[in-house]
Amino acid sequence: MKRNCRRHRLVAWTAVAAVALVGSACSSTASSSTSTTSASTAPSTTGAGTGSIPASAFTDRTGITANSVSVANISTLSAGLFKGSPVGTQAYADYVNSTGGINGRKMDVTGYDDQFQGAQNAQSTNAAVGQDFALVGGFSLEDSFGAAILAKNPGVPSVGESIEAATNALPNYYSPVPQQPGYQEGSLQYFKKKYPSDIGAVGTLIGNLPSNATTWAGDKYAMTKVGYKVSYVGVYGVTQTDYNADVVAMKNAGVKMLFLDQMNDTYASSVMKALNQQSFHPVVILGAAAYTASMVSESGGAANVDGSYLSMQYSLFLGQDSPAIPAVSTFLHWVQVASPGFKPDLFSLYGWLSAEMFAQALKNAGSNPSRGSVLQQLAKITSFNGQGLMAPTDPAARTISNCYLLVQVANGDFVRIDDPPISGTTGGFRCDYTFLSPPKA
Rounded-to-integer distance, Cα 185 and Cα 23, Å:
14
State the CB neighbour count (10 A cutoff) for residue 397.
17
pLDDT computed for residue 418 by the predictor: 95
Q: What is the pLDDT of residues 145-160, one digit of tens each?
A: 999 999 999 999 999 9
Say if CB 88 and CB 356 are below 8 A apart.
no
d(CA 364, CA 376) in angstroms, rounded, equals 10
Q: What are the pLDDT digits (tens) for 110-139?
A: 999 999 999 999 999 999 999 999 999 999
Q: What residue ranges define each of the domains in the chain, with the CATH number in brackets?
A: 31-175+325-379 (3.40.50.2300), 183-312+402-436 (3.40.50.2300)
> Letter for the amino acid at 134?
A
Using CA atoms, how far residue 271 sits from 25, 179, 230, in Å, is 22, 26, 19
Burial class from Cβ neighbours inside 10 Å (0-12, 13-18, 19+) for residue 399 reads middle
DSSP 8-state class, residue 292 = S
Element at 245 (helix H, strand E):
helix 244-252
Q: Give the tens place of pLDDT for each residue, 79-120.
A: 778 999 999 999 999 999 999 999 999 999 999 999 999 999
User: CA–CA separation, 153 vs 399, rounded Å?
Assistant: 24
Are 72 and 141 in contact, with CB atoms under 8 Å apart?
A: no
Supply angle C-alpha 253, 296, 410, rounded to 5: 85
Say if CB 12 and CB 83 are below 8 A apart: no
Q: Please report the sign of the dihedral spanned by the C-alpha atoms of residue 173, residue 389, residue 391, residue 316.
A: negative
Instruction: Let me know: does 136 contact 175? Beta carbons within 8 Å.
Output: no
319 exposure class (CB count in 10 Å sphere: 0-12, 13-18, 19+): middle
pLDDT at 78 over 90: no
Please check the confidence at residue 205 and state whether its pLDDT lies above 70: yes
Handedness of CA 95, 97, 103, 105 (dihedral sign): positive
> What pLDDT is stored for residue 81 in this prediction?
82
